[in-house]
Structure 1
Amino acid sequence: MIYVTGTLFFFNATPESLRVTTPIGHSYSVNDPAFKTNSGILTGRQWVEGNDAMLLSRGKDIFNTMYEDIRNARNSISKETFVYSGEEVATTMAHELADASKRGADVHFIMDYLGSADVTTDQLKIMEDAGVQLVRWRKPAWYQVPNLNHRTHRKLLIIDGEVAYTGGVNTADEWLDDIQEGGYKDYHLRITGPVVHELQGAFSKNWVASRGELLRGDRYYPHLETTGNLSMQVTTSHPGNGSIGVRKMMLHAIASADESIRIGSAYFFPDDKFLQALVDAANRGVHIKILTPNETIDKSFVRMASHTLWGQLLDAGIEMHEYQPVMYHAKLMIVDEYFITIGSTNFDNRSFRLNDEVNVSILDEDFARQMTVWYEKDLAQSERITMEVWENRSFFCKAYGWVIAIVMGVYL
């Protein structure tokens, strides 16, 4: 009976999803118009012109900039996050959203149920008493077993349908401090321009899924003027049904690389087809660097499992680095210093298959160079893991990593 129950739970919690399993040949570069055209077709999300983006990397700056925009909100605020916790950030955010609601803005807030497990009753009450519409995403229920493993991992904030934030930063105290003070290392974008409609649409889809309410009209989708010269694309992923657009987008970008690929990932445990795509790129001469956390990682078992995959990457000449100062939480990829994607998606199958995720991609040489400078600064504070270092891991690390990798490989 236990075996049958466990089997039913497993297959309900890990949906079978259609995904790319055959190699994508190198047919064009990321700066070729064909890349832009085909990436829109492959993901179902077209590129939007005329946008601007500010890259934020310091926790205090990120939250203070958000608070300032929230204080200027007139019509609506849409917020979605995985982690919502901490005495300082979560409480301050609760008050800011409550004040906006009292001023007459329509405030919608989706927080993942498991990710917000540490939210306090007082923090929820501050918002609820002010009229903030709250959703605890995917609250566990015996009659919704298939949804138990489907989390929203997105980090979205849209103000008046005009300004949007997205990236890797959760609403939690770990992101508040500078790295010198032990805060998580991460990146976030503040975005303006017509592409904000795409991010509002991504949020609205989950609002419909949770509340059955359609958000529409100028309060959410005002006319948006051009604010810059960035070409941007929003890509989303949803559990099952082949809706793993972020993975397709990344595979397409890897296949289109000519010179370099830089990856930053808090949790690096992709499937074998994704790994093979990286090896194939390295074999055709692309210089690849991958940056992950060291022992400061908040989920040590993921690091151990990840290490079991590194042999084939190192053998192909791919550089593996571990960030030393603090927990490295970024999720980004830079290709040929022209294409960037940044968002909530980790390079693992939980993000690719089981979570709701959102990424923003940019095609722009100047912005890519700016992001590359930041990446290389992070790399300078990292340790490169050579084949010799990798092979000389302790027996315990190898055995433990192997067991966890099998569990993660099956479960994810």
Structure 2
Amino acid sequence: MLKRVRISKRLLKLLAFAAGLLFLYLLGSLVFFNATPKEFRVTEPVITSYSVSDPQFRRDSGRLTGRDWVNGNHIEVLDRGKDIFDAMIRDIGEAGCCITKETYNFRGDEVATRFAAELASASRRGVDIHFLMDFIGSVAATRAQLDTLQQAGVDLERWREPAWYHLSRFNHRTHRKIMVLDGRVAYTGGVNTADSWLPDPVDGGYRDYHFRISGPVVREIQGAFSENWVSARGELLLGEQYYPNSDSVGTAAMQVVSSRPREGEKRMRKMLLHAIASAENSIRISSAYFFPDRFFLDAIRDASRRGVDVTILTPGEHIDQKYIRHAAHTLYTGLIEDGVAIYEFKPSMYHAKMLIIDDYFVSVGSTNFDNRSFRINDEMNVNALDSTFAREMVQHYERDLAQSERLTLEDLSNRPLRHKTWGWIVRGTIGAYL
């Protein structure tokens, strides 16, 4: 009897050890699959023999992204939080049949409450509303705000809400900012549905841009929303109410690029590399978080070495994720040595995401120049080939530069030791797979 007891204890120890190994394996797998993509990306230099104004650029970019360019569109720039939210609320109030909305952040006593009330009112008057909000980005949404939407009949989904079958993809967030009204008007840009964007930058509000778009390209934006609605709900949005025929309303040729990295669809990074490779005169980049991989950095440095005037604008000390700024500083020396001008915005958090090339090509949307946007998040950008719109965005960019400070090699060298140490630790952690 005593021998049998000893054997049982030994077996229990073996089973406990095996269970521990299994737990560690599952935990390691969970972390690994949440932090890494599934597919390879472009790592060889992208070389083109044409500029962004060449028709061949338009043809090739369509093939690379799988998204055609659409003529006849109009795009309006909105650059103050109050004006952005007021315009969106006005259009919600005028919607007749359907609204689709996707956002990362949905939070705040003022903005989220106001949008919940307006969307609920539209739903009660018979407008079909499909609302996709990221679970992590909306974790601060109040029960009252969510109840207001659901009790009014708003079709609400929270992207990647915790569930056992989502654990390996829990870190794969939707970072898109999309709203489409009656299939005819769309909004996109960098602005979330949250109070941080409400004050002016001089009062601490986030500096950002959002865009009101009309014309045939709105169907493409609706299609990008539909991608994730199918993934979240398994429901196709079909019919004239979602995809109406739209007449030409402007002169801008536009293209929608959506990225779904969890499936290897890293179109955004590929699109940006192609555009940078086609630059002849100037590249202007703005990004809330600038921390791309070494291959992307090489593309920027190569553009500068071949004579392109490259400027990068990022947040300064008011950045909301300070560790990203410290890590980004470890990347800047080589860029500055190759002639890239790097500026940090001083008044408040700089949240804009933009690429302007040769005062003709503009890409705006939700994508930051970091590997989270390139390889983990779901993102959407709208590209435009239009000199009038490009000149307008250059004016905004130059105004932001005037409120920024250019970094020098001396600035980087004189950083506090704790910032340097923290930067290299973060780079070694989040940049391990770059």
Shorter-chain TM-score above 0.5: yes
- What RMSD in Å do the two structures reach over aligned CA positions? 1.1
Judge conservation of contact 1:84–1:90 (CA < 8 Å) in 2.
yes
Of 161, 170, 177, the match for 2:183: 161
In structure 2, C-alpha distance between the alignment counterparts of 1:278 and 1:358, rounded to whole Å = 22
Q: Deviations over 1:280-326 (max 9, x none)?
A: 00000001000000110000001011111101101101001000000
- What residue in structure 1 maps to residue 11 of structure 2? none
The CA deviation at 1:7 is 2.1
- Bigger radius of gyration among the two: 2
In structure 2, C-alpha distance between the alignment counterparts of 1:337 and 1:223, rounded to whole Å = 31
1:11 aligns with 2:29: no
Q: Deviations over 1:244-263 (max 9, x none)?
A: 11111100010000010000
Judge conservation of contact 1:236–1:358 (CA < 8 Å) in 2.
yes
The CA deviation at 1:3 is 4.4
Judge conservation of contact 2:323–2:423 (CA < 8 Å) in 1.
yes
In structure 2, C-alpha distance between the alignment counterparts of 1:197 and 1:340, rounded to whole Å = 19
1:35 aligns with 2:57: yes
* Aligned pairs, number: 412
Of 295, 298, 301, the match for 1:276: 298
The CA deviation at 1:242 is 2.6
Superposition TM-score, scaled by structure 1 size: 0.98
In structure 1, C-alpha distance between the alignment counterparts of 2:329 and 2:97, rounded to whole Å = 48
Judge conservation of contact 1:18–1:241 (CA < 8 Å) in 2.
no
- What residue in structure 2 maps to residue 175 of structure 1? 197
The letter of the residue matching 1:9 is L
Q: What SS does the aligned partner of 2:138 have?
A: coil
Judge conservation of contact 2:172–2:262 (CA < 8 Å) in 1.
no
In structure 2, C-alpha distance between the alignment counterparts of 1:371 and 1:323, rounded to whole Å = 17
Of 46, 49, 54, the match for 1:24: 46
Q: Deviations over 1:313-356 (max 9, x none)?
A: 01101001000000000000100110000000000010001111
- What residue in structure 1 maps to residue 365 of structure 2? 343
- What residue in structure 2 maps to residue 231 of structure 1? 253
In structure 2, C-alpha distance between the alignment counterparts of 1:177 and 1:132, rounded to whole Å = 28
1:108 aligns with 2:130: yes
Task: Give runs of aligned pairs for residues 310-389 of structure 1, distance below 5 A.
Answer: 310-389=332-411
- What residue in structure 2 maps to residue 66 of structure 1? 88
Q: Taking every aligned residue pair, what percent have the same amino acid on both sides?
A: 55
Judge conservation of contact 1:85–1:171 (CA < 8 Å) in 2.
yes
Q: What SS does the aligned partner of 2:187 have?
A: strand
In structure 2, C-alpha distance between the alignment counterparts of 1:3 and 1:73, rounded to whole Å = 52
Q: What SS does the aligned partner of 2:432 have?
A: helix
In structure 1, C-alpha distance between the alignment counterparts of 2:149 and 2:352, rounded to whole Å = 29
The CA deviation at 1:239 is 2.1
The CA deviation at 1:392 is 1.7
1:129 aligns with 2:151: yes
Superposition TM-score, scaled by structure 2 size: 0.93
Q: What SS does the aligned partner of 2:383 have?
A: strand
The letter of the residue matching 2:244 is P
In structure 2, C-alpha distance between the alignment counterparts of 1:268 and 1:151, rounded to whole Å = 18
Q: Deviations over 1:142-164 (max 9, x none)?
A: 33222111100000000000000
Judge conservation of contact 2:37–2:264 (CA < 8 Å) in 1.
no
Judge conservation of contact 1:18–1:240 (CA < 8 Å) in 2.
no
Judge conservation of contact 1:12–1:145 (CA < 8 Å) in 2.
no
In structure 2, C-alpha distance between the alignment counterparts of 1:102 and 1:247, rounded to whole Å = 41
In structure 1, C-alpha distance between the alignment counterparts of 2:385 and 2:228, rounded to whole Å = 27
In structure 2, C-alpha distance between the alignment counterparts of 1:214 and 1:309, rounded to whole Å = 43
The letter of the residue matching 2:28 is T
The letter of the residue matching 2:303 is A
The CA deviation at 1:365 is 0.8
Judge conservation of contact 1:151–1:355 (CA < 8 Å) in 2.
yes
Deviates more, 1:308-317 or 1:14-23: 14-23
Q: Deviations over 1:50-73 (max 9, x none)?
A: 000001100000000001111010
Structure 2 unmatched runs, 5+: 1-20
In structure 2, C-alpha distance between the alignment counterparts of 1:247 and 1:296, rounded to whole Å = 27
Q: Deviations over 1:177-197 (max 9, x none)?
A: 111221100001100000000
In structure 1, C-alpha distance between the alignment counterparts of 2:105 and 2:94, rounded to whole Å = 24
In structure 2, C-alpha distance between the alignment counterparts of 1:88 and 1:230, rounded to whole Å = 35
Judge conservation of contact 2:73–2:254 (CA < 8 Å) in 1.
yes
- What residue in structure 1 maps to residue 170 of structure 2? 148
Judge conservation of contact 1:80–1:157 (CA < 8 Å) in 2.
yes
The letter of the residue matching 2:32 is F
Residues 25 and 275 of structure 1: CA distance in aligned 2, closer, same or farther (over 3 Å): same
The CA deviation at 1:411 is 6.1
The CA deviation at 1:16 is 2.6
Task: Give runs of aligned pairs for residues 196-207 of structure 1, distance below 5 A.
Answer: 196-207=218-229
In structure 1, C-alpha distance between the alignment counterparts of 2:433 and 2:140, rounded to whole Å = 25
Judge conservation of contact 2:311–2:341 (CA < 8 Å) in 1.
yes
- What residue in structure 2 maps to residue 247 of structure 1? 269
Judge conservation of contact 2:37–2:261 (CA < 8 Å) in 1.
yes
Q: What SS does the aligned partner of 1:362 have?
A: strand
- What residue in structure 2 maps to residue 84 of structure 1? 106
Judge conservation of contact 2:286–2:313 (CA < 8 Å) in 1.
yes
- What residue in structure 1 maps to residue 316 of structure 2? 294
- What residue in structure 1 maps to residue 216 of structure 2? 194
Deviates more, 1:241-250 or 1:8-17: 8-17
